[in-house]
Amino acid sequence: MAKKNKKVDDNNAVLATNRKARHDYQIIDTWEAGVVLLGTEIKSLREGKVSLVDSFASIENGEIWLQHLHIPQYSMGSWTNHTPKRTRKLLLHRKEIDSLMGKVRDGNRTLIPLKLYIKNGRVKLELGLAQGKQDYDKRQDIKRRTEEREVTRELGRRIKGINA
């Protein structure tokens, strides 16, 4: 029996999320950017193969470039296949780029990709302006989440106890 490829629906499908980014960074603001890709990269993305781990965006000569985004080579590709970790250009309006340049230059902030998705047949990237968290900030976030989880669990138990 033939092996089925894991295909992604073309309309409004999330291809990859960077779950580690929200743990390691405090996200200040987000933008939606288009991504300039080659044909084999699109085909590989539609197969559901992509990794946002360790990727980041940098601003060079007034343009935003995505570094270390790993898109594996297309399985049915030939010598025209792309290199998996090449730098890719991000498409934003000039005012957005200027605003990002000012915000990145001002403090110790960086641009992190949060989510890669397809919107109306185009590949889009949710880009976050992020500031690194310290270890104690991470521990406080974990503690806060567990406390919230326990409170909601207890409320659920009380509601079930009252209604039952």
**Per residue in 78-110, pLDDT tens?**
777 887 888 999 999 999 999 999 988 888 899
Q: Which of 4, 14, 8 is nearest to 119 (CA)?
A: 14
Q: Chain-wide mean pLDDT for the chain? A: 84
Label residue 140 by pLDDT band (50, 70, 90): confident
| 26 located within any domain | yes
Q: Which amino acid is at 96?
A: E
> For residues 127 and 4, which has the higher predicted lDDT (pLDDT)?
127
Which tokens go with 143? 């503690």
| 2 located within any domain | no
Same domain assignment for residues 79 and 159? no
| 146 located within any domain | yes
Same domain assignment for residues 92 and 158? no
Q: Which of 116, 85, 84 is nearest to 19 (CA)?
A: 116
| 88 located within any domain | yes
Q: 85 with 118: CB under 8 angstroms?
A: no
pLDDT of residue 3: 47
Euclidean distance between CA atoms 77 and 91, whole angstroms: 26
Query: In degrees rounded to 5, what are phi and psi of residue 115?
Result: -150, 140
pLDDT of residue 2: 47
Task: Please report, for the domain that includes residue 27, its CATH number.
Answer: 2.40.280.10
**What is the mean predicted confidence (pLDDT) over 48-65?**
89
Count of structural domains, the chain: 2
| 4 located within any domain | no
**Burial class of 110 by CB neighbour count within 10 A (0 to 12, 13 to 18, 19+):** middle
Same domain assignment for residues 149 and 111? no
Same domain assignment for residues 121 and 141? no
- 7 pLDDT higher than 70: no
Same domain assignment for residues 54 and 111? yes
- 158 pLDDT higher than 70: yes
Label residue 31 by pLDDT band (50, 70, 90): very high
User: Domain of 26?
Assistant: 14-133
**Burial class of 77 by CB neighbour count within 10 A (0 to 12, 13 to 18, 19+):** middle
